[in-house]
Amino acid sequence: MLEREITNPIITPEQFPNAMEGFEVFGTFNAGATIHDSETILLVRVAQKPIQKGSQIMVPFLDLDNKQIVVNGLEKSNPEFDFSDTRVVWDANKKFIKYLTSISGLWIARSKDGIKFSFDSKPFIFPETEWETWGCEDARITKIDDTYWINYTAVSERGIATALASTKDFTSLERHGIIFAAPNRDVAVFSEKLNGNYIALHRPMPSYVGTESIWFADSQNMTHWGNHKFVAGPRSGNWDSQRIGAGSPPIRTNEGWLEIYHGADDSNRYSLGAMLLDLREPWKIIARSSKPLIEPTEKYEKEGVYPNVCFTCGHTIVDDEIQIYYGIADRSIALAKVSIKETLDSLS
């Protein structure tokens, strides 16, 4: 049912043209996707880390006063920190993340055939606010009328929140601020209104009670969201037993809203599945994948910065075919194609 692009991965860090001075690009992944003026647009998360120096771990962040990225060095021998995870710096008791060891921005990659991409020379969305001092990550794109709405993860010492921006041409950009306060991510906006309201899926991140699950919300203006309803949670003993979250924006079909979502199992292995939501009450599930659509089986999906990860933020539609652009191992982007009809037929 599923066909992986033979040239996978289609975007890798080695293809990115220019790292910031003193940095290296180690990840180009988790891209929002759309089609504009017959061109496939990916809004790629580009992760850069400072080149490490001797006995120090270098940590980057946005200096709000000077509006520029700066780097601090932390001695590896410092007992105040735990450096066991190369992606983050924990406090000594491993309760709180003190720093990230990289910083991300969002770059546009363009393609005429949906396979071979070239990057714009400048970032489209880059850290500039107090909510983005640690980075801008994992964009989703939804077109409603003539506007492309872009939500993305805003990361700072204050937490992981969801921010909103919009564009009509992928040249100019308007920012709208935080729409889901920390901790919340994996927001996927529907392409149609319901009862005059914008609607979206989102994923709160409870610390002590509850699981990381998919919720529904609606809004009159795209910035203030409410009417929250629980949609779906992890399933014990299954491929999505640990946590789940929305992937790319839901696809309208005659049978319901088709959502490609991610799930992690008890070993933090990330796969992609599908669920079908009711057209009139999209917080209600009609059907859901018993098995993954995409799971990490290829070498490029199993090996990388964070192994065994298939994670999507975007797709495009060509006739009956979903072209799923998915991040692999927190390093690169791959492409897989699947029929809408066959996906619906596979749900139980």
* 53-57, 195-199, 291-295: range with lowest mean pLDDT: 53-57
Q: Which residues contact 130 (CB under 8 A, 6 or more apart)?
A: 64, 156, 158
Cα–Cα distance, 210 to 237 (Å, whole number): 17
pLDDT given at position 348: 64
| Average per-residue pLDDT for the chain | 97
Q: Domains in the chain, ordered, with CATH? A: 2-346 (2.115.10.20)
Tokens standing for residue 6: 């033979």
Residue in this structure with the two tokens 């692999």, named with its chain if needed = 328
What is the mean pLDDT of the segment spanning 328-341? 98
What is the mean pLDDT of the segment spanning 20-30? 97
Q: Give the pLDDT confidence of 146-157 residue by residue, as tens digits.
A: 999 999 999 999
Q: Could you tell me what percent of the chain has a pLDDT over 70?
A: 100
pLDDT given at position 50: 96
Q: Give the pLDDT confidence of 221-241 residue by residue, as tens digits.
A: 999 999 999 999 999 999 999
pLDDT given at position 69: 97
